[in-house]
Amino acid sequence: MSADRVRWEHIQRVYEQCERNVSETARRLRMHRRTLQRILAKHAPRE
């Protein structure tokens, strides 16, 4: 499993633990909220 995949799965887990609250997830991951939003947008399901 790639490092990017592990990172993404960790972000998803924390995001769900925070009940999909971006600000709280960013705080727990110690990253800027906007950075997290970009990561989430990049991995958003396509319609």
Would the pLDDT of 44 be above 90? no
As a 3-state breakdown, the chain gives helix, strand, coil percent values, each rounded to 5, of 70, 0, 30
What is the rounded average pLDDT of the residues 4-21?
97
Q: Is 12 a domain residue? A: yes
Q: How many domains does the chain have?
A: 1
Separation of CA 27 from chain center: 11
Domain extent, residue 28, equals: 3-42
> Is residue 24 assigned to a domain?
yes
* Inside any domain, residue 47: no
Domain presence at residue 22: yes
Q: What is the CATH number of the domain that holds 12?
A: 1.10.10.60
Question: What integer pLDDT is reported at residue 47 of this predicted model?
Answer: 63
Give me the amino acid identity at 21: N
Q: Does residue 37 surpass a pLDDT of 80?
A: yes
